Homo-oligomer: A and B are copies of this chain.
Amino acid sequence: MISKKTKYALKALIYLAREYDRGPILIADLAREERIPKKFLELILLALKNAGVLQSKKGKGGGYYLAQSPREISMGKVIRTLEGPLAPVPCVSETAYARCEECDDEWSCGIRLVMKEVRDAMAQILDNATLADVLERIEQEKQKKDGVLFYAI
């Protein structure tokens, strides 16, 4: 299960993607709209900024905005920033490989073989799901729902 922190981050980024190219958004507005504790959100946005996902402007008229277009920011990047590597075991991580302490023969570790498949499948999905994709899919779902509503009436 992903943490609340990561969920908050994704919500905030989807919000910022929707408002893309409308200038900086205030933390306070984001917090209110998405119902995220403001001070907590501050820390999250800061982490995303340090990871190069967001940029910010201080002082009056300041706020946060995406560092790249919504097409270029993937859920994989966001989750890795806040949650750490996608891999279920460190020995199959592409971005943060580490040996599993007590595995004496990594190359014939059965757990590793299966977990490598899992990490590849996750990365495949999450690294290809950009904020723009997510926005699109939300719209599609809303239209589907309207369709159902149409028939229901």
Contacts and interface: CB of A to CB of B under 8 A. Distances in A.
Interface string A10-47: 11001000000000000000000001000000000000
B135 A126 contact: no
Given A1-B84, A89-B1, A114 B125 contact: yes
A141 B111 contact: no
Nearest to A85: B1
Given A7-B89, A7-B111, A134-B110, A122 B118 contact: yes
Contacts of A141: 107-108, 113
Given A14-B110, A114-B126, A102 B2 contact: no
Interface string A113-134: 1110110011011100100001
Given A1-B84, A90-B1, A117 B125 contact: yes
Given A1-B90, A111-B134, 18 more contacts: A1-B87, A1-B88, A2-B88, A2-B89, A7-B100, A7-B111, A11-B111, A14-B110, A108-B142, A109-B138, A113-B134, A113-B137, A113-B138, A113-B141, A114-B125, A114-B129, A118-B121, A121-B121
Contact of A126 (B11, B75, B118): B118
Contacts of A7: 89, 100, 111
A145 B89 contact: no
